[in-house]
């Protein structure tokens, strides 16, 4: 089966910080340059004061962080926060800042990597998707106890086509969330259901998708995979009511032109 639609979930953990890192209390590349530190601390203070995220002040804050980096070009934290504030401004150069910060940190920071990968996903082009996949693989290598690298690999498998490995990775991520006593987010359940469907494990996929809650049930990707699972399972169980439900869900899909001909053919009466 061709990919039905490119799935770009926005990770619920897109912008991961430990609280003390976000407060500027724990740095990965603390500068010995007094001017750089003075500027960085001013940037942190200004960022926290700007609770309304006023764009004028965000731009000023971003410039302060960038000046801190210019004062010490090894100061990865300053570059990271320059990227973070640019991301809040929806500035396309946020990705460049995140990339530079992660490179300077030399694999020390999971915060840098998760934010870099999430921003690369947001761009959604071929080059940025490769950056996202590479970064998720690095999280698996350098932060193996974290579920985020495995989750991200599974996420990008819907784009790169290695959905069998994607399913393996999302299951590993779920085990790690359980070990950390973290409640599964709806996006994780949704992703697993999608990957089960793409691996033609329709009964398991249906079970997973029916556990999905919230706004995801209104998502086009949910409707597509849910309709397909309902149809395939109705054929296995010879269930006419389930088949009718599959067609009702299919009728609600707005972007049918983006479906593969193979899938569309299944819903021709």
pLDDT at 250 over 80: yes
pLDDT at 130 over 90: yes
Q: Looking at the domain assignment, is residue 192 inside a domain? A: yes
What does R_g of the chain's alpha carbons equal in angstroms? Answer: 22
More confident residue, 4 or 209: 209
Q: Looking at the domain assignment, is residue 237 inside a domain? A: yes
Three-class secondary structure of residue 219 per DSSP: coil
Q: Looking at the domain assignment, is residue 223 inside a domain? A: yes
Q: Looking at the domain assignment, is residue 65 inside a domain? A: no
Query: What totals of helices (H) and strands (E) does the chain contain, helices first?
Result: 14, 0
pLDDT tier, 6 (very low <50, low <70, confident <90, very high otherwise): very low
If one counts the domains in the chain, the total is 1
Measured between alpha carbons, how far is 15 from 116 in angstroms, rounded to an integer? 9
> Residue 227: its pLDDT value, please?
95
pTM over the 0.85 mark: yes
pLDDT in tens, 79-124: 999 999 999 999 999 999 999 999 999 999 999 999 999 999 988 8
Distances 34 to 31, 60, 69, 85, 219 between C-alpha atoms, Å: 8, 20, 12, 22, 50
Q: Which residues contact 69 (CB under 8 A, 6 or more apart)?
A: 36, 75, 78, 79, 82
Q: Looking at the domain assignment, is residue 261 inside a domain? A: yes
Q: Looking at the domain assignment, is residue 8 inside a domain? A: no
Judge whether 222 and 216 are in contact, CB under 8 Å.
yes
- Domain coverage including residue 211: 185-269
> Residue 262: its pLDDT value, please?
87
Q: How far is CA 234 from the centre of its chain?
A: 32
> Residue 18: its pLDDT value, please?
57
pLDDT averaged over the chain? 90
Q: Looking at the domain assignment, is residue 245 inside a domain? A: yes
Structure tokens at 187: 């996006």
Q: Looking at the domain assignment, is residue 142 inside a domain? A: no
């Amino acid at each position: 089966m061709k990919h039905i639609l490119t799935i770009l979930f926005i990770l619920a953990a897109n912008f991961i910080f430990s609280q003390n890192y976000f407060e500027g209390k724990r740095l990965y590349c603390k500068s010995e340059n007094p001017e750089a530190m003075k500027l960085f601390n001013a940037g942190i203070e200004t960022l926290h004061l700007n609770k309304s995220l006023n764009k004028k002040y965000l731009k000023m804050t971003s410039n302060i962080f960038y000046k801190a980096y210019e004062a010490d070009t090894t100061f990865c934290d300053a570059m990271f926060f320059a990227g973070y504030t640019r991301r809040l401004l929806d500035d396309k150069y946020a990705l460049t800042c995140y990339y530079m910060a992660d490179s300077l940190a030399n694999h020390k920071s999971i915060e840098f990597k998760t934010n870099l990968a999430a921003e690369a996903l947001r761009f959604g082009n071929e080059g940025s998707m490769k950056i996202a996949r590479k970064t998720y693989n690095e999280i698996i290598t350098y932060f193996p106890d974290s579920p985020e690298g495995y989750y991200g690999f599974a996420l990008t498998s819907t784009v790169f086509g290695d959905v069998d490995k994607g399913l393996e990775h999302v299951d590993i991520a779920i085990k790690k969330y359980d070990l950390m006593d973290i409640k599964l987010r709806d996006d994780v359940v949704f992703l697993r259901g999608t990957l089960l469907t793409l691996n033609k494990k329709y009964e398991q996929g249906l079970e997973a998708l029916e556990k999905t809650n919230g706004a995801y049930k209104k998502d086009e990707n949910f409707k597509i995979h849910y309709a397909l699972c309902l149809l395939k399972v109705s054929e296995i169980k010879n269930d006419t009511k389930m088949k009718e439900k599959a067609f009702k869900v299919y009728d609600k899909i707005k972007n049918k032109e983006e479906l593969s001909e193979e899938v569309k053919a299944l819903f021709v009466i």
